Amino acid sequence: MAANLKEVRERIKSVINTQQITKAMKMVSAAKLRKAQQAIVQMRPYTVKLNEILGHVIASLGGDAEFKLAKTREVKQALVIVITSSRGLCGAFNTNIIKTAVSLIQESYGRHRKEGKLSILCIGKKGFDYFKKHYSDCQIIGDHVHLIESYKAEPTDKLVESLIDSFETALYDRVQVVYGRFKNAATQFPTSEDYLPVPKINLPHTGKKKLKADYLFEPDKQTVLESLIPALLKIQMKRYIMDTSASEHGARMTAMDKASENAEELLKELRINYNKARQETITKELLEIVAGAAALGG
């Protein structure tokens, strides 16, 4: 019985230590989430406005708008960008993004994979580790851990510039992105979006009569479009990364909160078991004392 008491005490001590770790991780994730959430909240209005400006410019050109990055062509070579976190302990967050990417590949690029014409670019170590192990028949391009861990614009811009160059030179005919869209700390959505060619921009309907803006282009409309579209693509990639980063911290905070609650429940159960075992030990010792006293008295 003494051995059983010692085992339960060790388990209680272990659970308490684990609970302290999960609570600390929850606090760290909450602090990081505030920073990431602020960044994404500030980014989204800028992205929406840039889309609106580009849409108005294209609408003002009528059918005269032509640009390479929006030109659709037969998909001979495809690229899927998968954005995950580089660390675990965030519930099913990474697993859900990877499942969405796998589903996209199976539905849209099964033939390309068999023919060796599918590439996967991974941002984040978790996605990189998975696809390197299970998709050896595809070209896996880097883990780009530094992008998911930093909000610096320069490395992201360089990545987008290389993607633009690859699309223009027909190295890839289509590029899609799978990432974790952030809603709130408890809710994240694994999402896939078209990236290249640039999808058609739909302006919001206001119910008012559409007015055709009279734009003056300097130096010319083609140059303006060729400047606006790469800028939009860079902003979108930053948004994907920031969304995923905020989603990661939200998922980890939720997972650690749940782990702390589970540890508390386990502690209650272990303490009850410990008290029961201790009472049994005391009762047994009392019975032995009484039996000994009775034997001596007899």
CATH number at residue 69: 3.40.1380.10
Are 232 and 97 part of one and the same domain? yes
* Residue 93 counted as domain residue: yes
* Residue 298 counted as domain residue: no
Are 191 and 265 part of one and the same domain? no
- Residue 138 is among the residues annotated as catalytic for this protein: no
Q: Quickly list DSSP for the chain.
A: -HHHHHHHHHHHHHHHHHHHHHHHHHHHHHHHHHHHHHHHHHHHHHHHHHHHHHHHHHHHHGGG---GGG-----SSEEEEEE--S---STTHHHHHHHHHHHHHHHHSHHHHHTT-EEEEEESHHHHHHHHHH-TTSEEE---HHHHH---HHHHHHHHHHHHHHHHTTS-SEEEEEEEEEEETTEEEEEEEEEESPPPPPPPP-SSPP-------SS-HHHHHHHHHHHHHHHHHHHHHHHHHHHHHHHHHHHHHHHHHHHHHHHHHHHHHHHHHHHHHHHHHHHHHHHHHHHHH-
Are 133 and 198 part of one and the same domain? yes
Question: How far is residue 246's CA from residue 102's CA, in Å, rounded to a whole number?
Answer: 22
Position 206 scores a pLDDT of 47
Are 123 and 239 part of one and the same domain? yes
Phi, psi of 223 (to 5 degrees): -65, -40
Q: At what angle do helices 153-168 and 221-297 cross, to 10 degrees?
A: 120
Beta carbons within 8 Å of 228's beta carbon, 6+ residues apart: 50, 53, 54, 57
Q: What CATH number should be reported for the domain holding residue 266?
A: 1.10.287.80
Position 224 scores a pLDDT of 76
Are 38 and 106 part of one and the same domain? yes
Are 161 and 276 part of one and the same domain? no
Of 90, 97, 159, 196, catalytic: 90
Are 164 and 267 part of one and the same domain? no
Residue-range definition of the domain harbouring residue 260: 2-25+255-293
- pTM above 0.85? no
pLDDT along the chain (298 residues), means of 10: 75 92 92 86 81 71 66 92 92 95 95 94 93 92 76 84 93 96 87 88 52 66 79 90 92 93 92 86 82 74
Are 268 and 236 part of one and the same domain? no
As for how many domains the chain has, the answer is 2
Are 111 and 249 part of one and the same domain? yes
Position 60 scores a pLDDT of 64
* Residue 188 counted as domain residue: yes
Are 7 and 79 part of one and the same domain? no
